[in-house]
Every structure is written in structure tokens, then in C-alpha cells.
Amino acid sequence: MVAHRYLDVNGIRLHIAEQGEGPLVILLHGFPESWHSWHRQLGPLAEAGFRVVAPDQRGYGGSDHPDDVDAYTILHLVGDVVGLIRELGEEKAYVVGHDWGAPVAWHTALLRPDMVLGVAGLSVPPPHRGAQPPLGMMDEIFQGRFYWNYFARPGVADAEFARDTRTALRKFLYSASGSASPRARSGSRWWIRRRAGSRRWRIPRCCRSGSPRTISTR
């Protein structure tokens, strides 16, 4: 049975879902998600002999969401994981991240290897420093229309979502879900083409490894 509670960690309050007993496994969700992204993994991992904890990361779900953008640096996010491990009464944990949770997992292992038994990332490989900041690179490639840049502009996304918050969030989450219809998925691909201004675009160095590659959105 999944249990829910709140813990004071790293100066904020985190909501967590937990199940099982044994070595600790921390599951870090991505964007725009919550602990619920892992609801199908909690039971099997618990049955396999692990204590599984899936927090709502800071800014998401039932956890605190500081107003100051400077409260969301990778150091803050790593600090949340470190504090969570300690608050749970453990010294070490396996750390798994998906999407935007993956960089948090990778950096936790990088900065606190003494506390990480093992690390895994889904969707996002270990980051490496590119020739220029990723935010600026995406802004240049997509002419200011990439979602990173869209959400980084104060008040822009807020105003659009505020017009009908419930509908906007339902559509946003559904379009990225496994239940989305083929039409919804094709609409998502069209969004990429239209914003990129081309049917093909080169993957920037901040987001790839190996030789230069292009992808097609056809």
C-alpha cells in the first residue's frame, strides 16, 4: 500500500509517496509531472525488496513552490535529494530520474557519490558542458519559441494558463501521455515543426552525444 506524508527537507516541505522496506530507492519525476508518474513502479519495486520513495520535487504537486526562481538551481534540487535521504533515516540510496528528474539524479551522483548506491536516468543522458548556455542556444534555434524559453519569460505562460487553467493543464498533460490519440500526437509533432520553422533541425551539442545528427519531424 502506498503511503503519503510530508517531510521538512532543505528548508522546504516535500510531499512524498512511499512503499516497501529494504534498500532505499528515490524516484525523481520529470516535467510536467509529479510522484504519480511512478505509481506503476512503486509496487513492483517494493515487492522486489526495496523501500521506494517518490517525492513531488520542489515546485510540483503537493510540495512547496518557492516564488524566487533562484531557489530552483541544480544545487537546490540535489540538496533536496540529500536532505530527503537523511530525513528518511538512511545514509545511502539508489537514485533514479526521468526527464527533468534525470539531471537531478546525475548531479546527485556527481556531487554526493558517498550517498548514492547507484544511479539511473530515463530519457535524459548525463549532461556535459556545451559551447554556450543551453537556454540561449535553444532561444536562438527556435527563435524564442522553445518551451524552456516560453516558461522562462515572466508572466507569459502564466497569462495563457490563467485563461482556463483546468483545460490548459488537462490538454498539456494528456498530449504527453501514453493515452493520447494519434491525432493528439500528430498535433504535438506539428507544434515542433511550426516553432522550429523547419521539418528538420540539428540537435544542439548541449543535448546530444557523439557525432552531429539531425532529426525529422515528418
Q: Is 110 left (phi over 0), alpha (psi -120 to 50) or beta?
A: alpha
Among residues 50, 11, 52, which one has the least CA distance to residue 28? 52
Mean pLDDT of the chain: 84
Task: Write out pLDDT tens, residues 12-55.
Answer: 999 999 999 999 999 999 998 999 999 999 999 999 999 999 99
Q: What is the value of pTM for the model shown? A: 0.80
Residue whose C-alpha cell reads 494528456 in the numeric block: 174
pLDDT bracket for residue 83 (50, 70, 90): very high
Contact 52, 83 (CB under 8 A): no
Mean pLDDT of 87-111: 97
- At residue 185, the pLDDT reads 52
